[in-house]
Amino acid sequence: MTQASDIRDNEVAVQAPTPSDAALTYIGRIHTPWQTRKECPRQGDSEDGPVCELEIFEPWGAALEGVEELERIQVLYWLHEARRDLVKQSPGNTGMTKGTFAIRSPVRPNPIGISVVTLVARNGNRLQVRGLDCLDGTPLLDLKPERCPHKH
């Protein structure tokens, strides 16, 4: 059984510097139905996917003012289980590789995930949204209004 953190044929890892250039603060936590990476869908569906929850920690609750008026939100999160040292990857495990910056794999030097979600409801510091595909418990980094036009 291959684990997602193992290296595959033709993938290339580098001796990466210890990350120490800037520090992140987790502003909250994402609640989803998926407990293992194998269960996670390949790409969240912002219209038909399950409702997930963004929980915002204090002291950041006041920063949500006005978020309830947004239809679509860009969500940034930290893929805390991803390895960070691969420069070439084989997403389908086909033996063919691509550079890490040419694909949207969670494995990258700074494993920041970005999803566009649709807002279902706000209850205080908790937002119900559709469109996520990450693990339950994923640390939240940021929310921004989405500028990209809606795909119908």
Q: Which residues bind a copy of itself (CB under 8 A)?
A: 12, 14-27, 56, 59-67, 69-70, 74, 76, 78, 80, 84, 86-88, 97-104, 108-110, 112, 114, 116, 139, 141-145, 147-149, 151
Which of 74, 103, 76 is CA-nearest to residue 87?
Answer: 103
Q: Which is nearer to a copy of itself, 32 or 89 (CB)?
A: 89
The two beta strands, 86-89 and 28-31, are unpaired
Instruction: Tell whether the torsion through CA atoms of 25, 149, 109 and 94 is positive or negative.
Output: positive
| Burial class of residue 41, CB neighbours in 10 A (0-12, 13-18, 19+) | middle
- Cβ of residue 139: shortest distance to a copy of itself, in angstroms? 7
> Considering beta carbons, is residue 114 or 120 the nearer one to a copy of itself?
114
Residue closer to a copy of itself by CB (options 136, 142) is 142
